[in-house]
Structure 1
Amino acid sequence: MDRHGDMIKFTDTWISDISPMARLILEDNKEIVRKLKVNWNHEIGFEIQDGDYKHIVDLVKKTCTCRLWQLRGIPCKYVVCALYHIGYESKNYVEHWYRRDTFLRAYKYFIQPSSNMIMWPESNNPPIKPPEVKPMPGKPSRNRKKAKDESRKKKWGKASKME
């Protein structure tokens, strides 16, 4: 119950509408943008050159050839570069699950407190027992059952002096 309340209070410390972790990744990506070269087709396609590598960014499909944007839901450095080139804000392209509203919806329902088990009222019903253990289906074990008179040597180490 304490953690639940702490997580709701945690959103009060957020500087923006997106989570601190997502904001930190965006800020790191913004610093790298200066080193990249952008080619834009004046519509939705971008070609971002990073040294010898070229990455294609499509803002409508929300894809980048490095695939970090699709995997994380946070614009990668190439997407941030493309958005910066046309003057768009990169935090608007962060997926909804990093937003404050989604975070608060996860903690919308509260766990109601209950009394200690010692204070519960007595019941006349029979106690509930766990179910019987059933052997699991599948291949049986490879070890054969040894007879009582067979020696039982250890797998590793020396055999005992008694044998």
Structure 2
Amino acid sequence: MAEKARFLIPYAIGRHEFHVLDGELNGEVDLLNKTCTCGVFQIIGILCAHALSRSLKRGVNFYSLGSDYYKIETWWPSYTKSIYPTGNEEELIVPHDIMTIKVRTPAQKSLVGRPKKKQGRPKKKRHPSNGDKLVVQCKCITCGGLGHNRATCKVRV
């Protein structure tokens, strides 16, 4: 986002408001209310390229402009409480209707569209008919082995 914001041109409208030209979707940003006309700033809570361009030019700490949901102080209290183990499975009291539920694997959905063809000729053993050439394996001149030639021979003389 910062890479894109470097090339945007912000024009000040007021102290905390400005207009940003990006060539496609120009944005009106208000840093005090944390809003932008593109909607990214309000929906996600992270600075959009329009807001980031102005904060980079002014030297404002853009981490302070983000939503509180992304700050450590917000997340830390949820991890301060202790989590106790449940104990032995046999000692747990589970209702009968939950115990009898069978969980199955999800049904596989059939793919949409024409099925893909396998590439190439099917590999079958067939008997040559009259007029067909029999494929003879090549023989190496160097070692006398079948299935390779002198150029691909792994035996060195």
TM-score of the aligned structures, taking structure 1 as reference length: 0.53
- Residue equivalent to 1:114: 86
The Cα of 1:42 is off from its aligned counterpart by 4.1
RMSD over aligned CA atoms reads: 2.5
Q: Secondary structure at the match of 1:48?
A: strand
The share of aligned pairs that are identical, in percent, is 26
Q: Distance in 2 between matches of 1:111 and 1:74?
A: 31
Q: Would you say 1:50 and 2:34 are equivalent positions?
A: no
Q: Would you say 1:79 and 2:51 are equivalent positions?
A: yes
Q: Distance in 2 between matches of 1:98 and 1:128?
A: 39
Q: Would you say 1:101 and 2:73 are equivalent positions?
A: yes
Q: Distance in 2 between matches of 1:43 and 1:110?
A: 46
- Residue equivalent to 1:36: 8
1:8-64, CA deviations, whole angstroms, 9 ceiling, x for partnerless residues? Answer: xxxxxxxxxxxxxxxxxxxxx111122111100241211000014321001111100
1:75-129, CA deviations, whole angstroms, 9 ceiling, x for partnerless residues? Answer: 11110011122221111111111111222222222221232133x39x9xxx955
Q: Distance in 2 between matches of 1:95 and 1:53?
A: 23
Q: Would you say 1:90 and 2:47 are equivalent positions?
A: no
Q: Distance in 2 between matches of 1:74 and 1:54?
A: 18
Return 5+ residue gaps in structure 2 as ranges.
98-157
Contact 2:25 2:38 in 1 (8 A): no
Which of 1 and 2 has higher RCO (CA within 8 Å, sep 6+)?
A: 1
- Residue equivalent to 2:149: none
Q: Distance in 2 between matches of 1:78 and 1:129?
A: 57
Return 5+ residue gaps in structure 1 as ranges.
1-28, 131-163
Distance 1:94 1:52, change over 3 A: closer
Q: Distance in 1 between matches of 2:45 and 2:31?
A: 13
Higher Cα radius of gyration: 2
Count of aligned pairs:
98
Question: 1:121-140 maps to which residues of 2 (within 5 A)?
Answer: 129-130=96-97
Q: Distance in 2 between matches of 1:92 and 1:40?
A: 20
Per mean C-alpha deviation after superposition, the further-off stretch among 95-104 and 65-74 is: 95-104
